[in-house]
Structure 1
Amino acid sequence: MKRVVLVISSLSPGGAERVLALMANYWAAAGWAVTVYTLDDGTQPPFFDLDVAVQHRPLGIQGDSANIIVALWNNLRRIAVLRKAVLQSRPDTVISFGEKTNVVTVLATLGLGFKVIVSERTDPHAHKIGRLWDGLRWWAYARADLIVVQSQAALCYFLPEFRRNAMVIPNPVAMPSALYSERETGSSPSSIIAVGRLSQEKGFDLLLRTFARLTTLHPEWTLTIVGEGPLRSKLEALRDSLNLAGRVSMPGLVKNVYEYLARASLFVMTSEFEGFPNALCEAMACGLPVVCVDCPGGIREIIKPGENGVLVQRGDLDALAEAMHRLMSNATERQLLGRRAMDVSSAFSVEKVMRMWEKVVQ
């Protein structure tokens, strides 16, 4: 029986967390022994459901540090606690998620003889982690057995000697089989949806300002922004200042985003950078037409402009407004793009992506 340990900071809402939960459940269903170690204390239960066969063990070693001395002590403790936990699990392979967790995991497993795979979960060109952590990342990744990135764009960040020990594995796209017919019969003809953490890099302020420019032209259209985060109050204030209170809803975290995607007719993504965005792939798999800012990350490995979606130049609000206006005005084009977008469900299917993971784990 294959034994795998997965390490991540927590199982809170997020793309990396969703992918880890999917991987853990997939392998548990296949009869593997799967243990998930999180650095948090487990006070908050996992946002994503785990199979009963998956062992989830919070280690209680997460937290902020007041200064560099405390930070050093906390990280030494994290390394020691994680090392002991991994030894108890006796895995064949350890897979960690997220750059800082990757560093801690490599340090914790030095000399143990287990295969260690580190997984980058965003575009390192745009996501800055500080000079110290960046230096530690280079040191740690040189000692990992494999580096996994989500896109060719992310792979290009690494020096050639690192690329030789790296592999691109995209995120899997999981979708209920009956979803598309549900969306066709139940969707509103005038509904835009966006999904993501309410944080600066998602660019929801730009989306609100752009939508405000189109409300007179499209008085029947509404916007729903699904997600939660530190900018909620600022985004709500901006929404209200733009007189959009009756047109824009922000329902917060939802367990099943597909229920919202099924009722929408257009998906818009305005991120400053991405890794391999789950929300975009899930929207496309539902048959939604998409308008997406051409930001750093794996976007162009998902969207073929004009064929299965619309890309607009980063920072060009006029182009974003024009693209949204065009699709809001043209149901035929929306349907055509939506049908073509559904191909992502086969291109990045769970079975295909998990075969890629199993090849590197074996």
Structure 2
Amino acid sequence: MTIATMPQRPVMPTPELGVLMVTGAYYPELSGGGLQCRELVRQLRESARFTILTTTADPTLPALDERDGVPVHRVAVDVSSFLSKIAGAVKVTRVVLSNRHRFSIVHLHGFSQKVILLTLLARLLGKRILLTLQTSAHDEALQIRGRSRLAFWGFSQADLFTGVSLGLQRSYHAAGLQPEKFRLIPNGVDISRFRSPHAAERKALHRRLGLLSDGRIVLFVGFFSKEKCPDRAFEAWASLALTHGAIGPLVFVGATRSRYYEVDPQLVDTVKRRAHDLGLADRVVFVEKTLEIEHYYRAADIFVLPSLREGLPNALIEAMASGIACVASRLDGATDGLIEDGTNGLLVPPGDVAALAVALRFLVDHPDRMVEFGRRARQTIEARFAIGQTAQQYLNAYRTLMGQPTCAV
């Protein structure tokens, strides 16, 4: 007698993940959050179908674009104009409704006024919401609760939260929100793009970038904003540049003139005036924008981050991945999660120019320690902050929201 075999049930394919990625800036605009979003999209575009929705202060950028094979919708908004905000809300609504069949998840990067509108739209359309907290103070749950009931409603409606730092995690828990809805996912970096250079490569970069100096090159990367304190980086550097022959140029890479609300053009005017008065103008370099930031990291010897607040600073992660000795403000739950003071870099009190100058002098006077800090910094990033690890954690978050199996990281 022939035993009939039961027909096997066909293996059903995993439902395609569709994600509407919402961010405050996106390439070619340069911001830490926007660039992190782009890296995630590039890592995960084979596993999920992305649509980008971003607001912009630059009306010259196209409303519909494509980057890395992914559609990018831009809504230009003048934050100083109430009518522009209303028009922007209408355009955001149109983008969401016209693309509603492309996504099942709305991934919000950072909290802003548009999150309230997008949360309402997501709920009406039956979409899942992931909210990533990325900036200290600005994205902290207790701060948002203090703004208004409506703001906290929009914040608390997310189905899942991720935070880039321990500080943001602590703030979330302090607000009494559900602990099981929070995941700590740090920012990540492409460790093949951001890497230590060979000696010959560094010399070639010095020539190419016009940084011809026998002294140690000091690098600052970030907006000219009051919270990032480029003026304090200058004052600390200048106190050594006037007397210490081993200090080379100070290189500022970042927007000094921009429609972006955080940029304060008075800061660059102050730095330029001070540099002129001290006779140091020819030793301070300003790079408004570059699409090859990795070259500046490889050319530099020391990186400074004198910020007063950060979430988990992308610039510091990139600098450490590039094998540079780093000096940063000690920000609880942020920079101290990257730098172990005296082991893979140096931490100084926020706003303390004298302490920053002492740290710079120590690195210049102890080149062996400077190199060792850079080597250990690179090891830290390789072990814990590679973009592949970060991307897999976000993919798991998406799958959790859709009830799909996840993978070990």
What TM-score, normalized by structure 2, do the two folds share?
Answer: 0.79
Q: Aligned residue for 2:202? A: 186
2:119 counterpart of 1:102 = no
- Structure 1 distance, partners of 2:62, 2:343, is 41
- Structure 2 distance, partners of 1:203, 1:75, is 31
Task: Work out whether residues 122 and 297 of structure 1, in 8 Å CA contact, stay in contact via their aligned partners in 2.
Answer: no
Q: 1:251 to 1:129 in 2, by over 3 A?
A: farther
Any idea what SS the aligned residue of 2:227 has?
helix
- Structure 2 distance, partners of 1:236, 1:316, is 21
Task: Work out whether residues 171 and 353 of structure 1, in 8 Å CA contact, stay in contact via their aligned partners in 2.
Answer: yes
Letter in structure 1 aligned against 2:110: G
Superposition pairs of residues 254-265 of structure 1, within 5 angstroms: 254-265=290-301
Task: Work out whether residues 118 and 148 of structure 1, in 8 Å CA contact, stay in contact via their aligned partners in 2.
Answer: yes
Any idea what SS the aligned residue of 1:117 has?
strand
- Structure 2 distance, partners of 1:73, 1:21, is 27
Of 137, 140, 147 in structure 1, the residue corresponding to residue 154 of structure 2 is 140
2:363 counterpart of 1:350 = no
- Structure 2 distance, partners of 1:180, 1:97, is 30
Task: Work out whether residues 291 and 309 of structure 1, in 8 Å CA contact, stay in contact via their aligned partners in 2.
Answer: yes
How far the C-alpha of 1:111 sits from its partner, in A, is 2.8
How far the C-alpha of 1:133 sits from its partner, in A, is 5.2
How far the C-alpha of 1:45 sits from its partner, in A, is 6.1
How far the C-alpha of 1:79 sits from its partner, in A, is 5.8
Of 163, 171, 175 in structure 2, the residue corresponding to residue 157 of structure 1 is 171
Any idea what SS the aligned residue of 2:107 has?
strand
How far the C-alpha of 1:61 sits from its partner, in A, is 5.5
How far the C-alpha of 1:240 sits from its partner, in A, is 2.1
Superposition pairs of residues 71-220 of structure 1, within 5 angstroms: 73-74=86-87, 77=90, 80-89=93-102, 91-100=103-112, 101-124=114-137, 135-158=149-172, 159-176=175-192, 179-182=195-198, 185-186=201-202, 190-220=216-246
2:46 counterpart of 1:33 = no
Letter in structure 1 aligned against 2:93: A
Deviations 1:189-225 (A, max 9, x none): 5111110011111111111111111113323422111
Q: Aligned residue for 1:337? A: 373
What TM-score, normalized by structure 1, do the two folds share?
Answer: 0.88
Q: 1:317 to 1:19 in 2, by over 3 A?
A: same
Q: Which moved more, 1:282-291 or 1:161-170?
A: 161-170
RMSD after superposition: 2.8
Deviations 1:257-298 (A, max 9, x none): 110111111111111111111110111111111111113551
Any idea what SS the aligned residue of 1:160 has?
coil
Any idea what SS the aligned residue of 2:239 has?
helix
In the alignment of these two chains, the number of paired residues is: 355
Q: Aligned residue for 1:8? A: 23
How far the C-alpha of 1:320 sits from its partner, in A, is 1.3
Q: 1:34 to 1:173 in 2, by over 3 A?
A: same
Deviations 1:3-43 (A, max 9, x none): 21101233221011001111112222x25321111234873
How far the C-alpha of 1:353 sits from its partner, in A, is 0.8
- Structure 1 distance, partners of 2:52, 2:226, is 30
Deviations 1:33-59 (A, max 9, x none): 21111234873269x9931x211122x
- Structure 2 distance, partners of 1:98, 1:322, is 35
Q: 1:64 to 1:177 in 2, by over 3 A?
A: closer
**Residue ranges of structure 1 left out of the alignment (5+ in a row):** none
Letter in structure 1 aligned against 2:364: M
Q: 1:134 to 1:356 in 2, by over 3 A?
A: farther
Q: Aligned residue for 1:240? A: 276
Q: 1:228 to 1:209 in 2, by over 3 A?
A: same
Letter in structure 2 aligned against 1:137: A
Task: Work out whether residues 155 and 163 of structure 1, in 8 Å CA contact, stay in contact via their aligned partners in 2.
Answer: no
2:362 counterpart of 1:326 = yes
- Structure 2 distance, partners of 1:18, 1:112, is 28
Letter in structure 2 aligned against 1:360: A
Letter in structure 1 aligned against 2:22: V
Q: Which moved more, 1:110-119 or 1:236-245?
A: 236-245
Of 77, 100, 116 in structure 2, the residue corresponding to residue 62 of structure 1 is 77
Task: Work out whether residues 145 and 152 of structure 2, in 8 Å CA contact, stay in contact via their aligned partners in 1.
Answer: no
**Residue ranges of structure 2 left out of the alignment (5+ in a row):** 1-15, 204-213, 257-263, 400-409
Q: 1:39 to 1:156 in 2, by over 3 A?
A: same
- Structure 1 distance, partners of 2:152, 2:382, is 34
Q: Aligned residue for 1:292? A: 328
- Structure 2 distance, partners of 1:338, 1:72, is 45
